[in-house]
Chain A
């Protein structure tokens, strides 16, 4: 791990609904809700701040609806945040993520970020073959040589342990684990320095989970890719993440080294979470 900062997020907030002045003060863990009692808006995430360094895996943990995925979706431009700032550092350049125009956003999404969703339907185009899915991402980054695209797709699928003989098959013919591998291969196609993983192992059986987690660790080791791993699975956090953020009702309630959080949780909620899993 280096001291090279990849991503800096400050005070990110996302409110669904019209919002009011009292939204933030009347929601959160201390109120046991993320629905504003005054206007009914949902405060999905509020005041999220963290840094991410090169080669680091940051875990975001929390129960369903705690705002983990929302935070990541905002950073990947799937959604537009209500307020906050995020800076992406790349090749000596800085990008203020939320003030970019549509084309700049698309450029970062296609070239510099990778996203793996829990549901392969979101990340893959099911109307084209596995190879075509990877080709799509390569074509987006302006590679226009057919045999080069083909070679690169084979290389990526081999790396994610998808049988390359099956690369021209439709993703619907693949098992869930295979689809997830294709999705990871697609996300890695442009060698992005930043990868978002949203519940990538949820719903897969244990042996497949282990293999996918191995793959993610291998990628981190080889490419020094910075990753944000969103999960509610403590096992995944323990295995992958160096540092962890615990979220509840849209707020960060605890943050620190993963070992520290799992061995010596400070917040009552985290204590309960860790205790229940062990």
Chain B
């Protein structure tokens, strides 16, 4: 746990004395837990809750953070991801805040070791297990917001499962661009009724929500909504019968699948970098833990061969 080592022990002791475990008071946690139960009971339904003020700006993951703080206990092991990585600013800050206010918990960067994972933008490449909970930070919870500005009307539309105007948006995309151009926040229908905004995960991760073994909780702090994709639940991206949903393509000009320049992986979601010196385009696994694991597996294999 490198971050724990960076923070002084005094600070930790102070924080744990001055704040309740998990920063939020017990009533706040209880409310979030009740909303979570309701969200699981009605898959995809946006449960309103009184999002508390957190010591960071709304829009920086306060929804996900409140979920994590309400669920975490001393026996838990936490992983925090931002843009697929454990080392980016948002992930580091959230992790050290949780470490500071939840003394006794463990943190990790390995998916396999964590039982609680808070993430922004990505669902880990490695398949999750039944004993794991994934918490996603959501900026815009309502998929209908792009077609209907009034929340009153949106609530009626959700209640009646009236999503034809979202499909019209897909229709218009195909007319204009010959394909559906939504790159992230892909509208996804849960358990054949409610359509959710799948948070800023790329299309690549949408199929992972379908029939997931892990419980997926989505929290929007600014919009004060919690919703869930319970384990083993249908999650279907909106599509036409003859224009099926498809994930991002990582094929190059010659239709060959690009690979990660670091670990050589040919089946993960890739980020594009430009090498500062050579100006060359590089591709690397977006999920840094997965990349490390692949790299380790490769070196072990090479070691065995050599």
B162 at interface, CB cutoff 8 A? yes
Of B156, B160, B165, B242, which one neighbours A146 at CB under 8 angstroms? Answer: B242
* A168 to B243 alpha-carbon distance, docked (Å): 18
A interface: dominant SS: helix
Contact with A along B68-93 (1 / 0, CB 8 A): 00000000000000000000000000
* A140 to B161 alpha-carbon distance, docked (Å): 10
Pick out which of these stretches binds chain B: A59-67, A69-77, A129-137, A171-179.
A129-137
* Cβ contact within 8 Å between B168 and A146: no
* Cβ contact within 8 Å between A106 and B168: no
**Range, interface on chain A:** 20 to 34
- A102-135 at interface with B (beta carbon < 8 Å): 102-103, 106, 125, 128-129, 131-132, 135
- Interface residue count on the B side (C-beta < 8 Å): 17
* Cβ contact within 8 Å between B175 and A139: no
* Cβ contact within 8 Å between A145 and B171: no
Contacts of B160 in A (CB 8 A): 102-103, 106
* Cβ contact within 8 Å between B174 and A146: yes
* Cβ contact within 8 Å between A144 and B168: no
* Cβ contact within 8 Å between A139 and B156: no
Residue in chain A with minimal CB distance to B170: A146
* Cβ contact within 8 Å between B164 and A145: no
* A102 to B172 alpha-carbon distance, docked (Å): 28
A44 at interface, CB cutoff 8 A? no
Q: Say yes or no: A139-B168 contact (C-beta < 8 A), given A106-B162, A131-B175.
A: yes
* A57 to B165 alpha-carbon distance, docked (Å): 32
* Cβ contact within 8 Å between A149 and B156: no
* Cβ contact within 8 Å between A140 and B243: no
Quote the shortest CB–CB distance from A169 to chain B (angstroms): 11
B275 at interface, CB cutoff 8 A? no
Quote the shortest CB–CB distance from A78 to chain B (angstroms): 14
* Cβ contact within 8 Å between A144 and B175: no
Contacts of A145 in B (CB 8 A): 240-242
Quote the shortest CB–CB distance from B238 to chain A (angstroms): 9
7 smallest CB-CB distances across A and B, nearest first, come from A139-B164, A146-B240, A140-B164, A145-B241, A139-B167, A136-B168, A135-B171
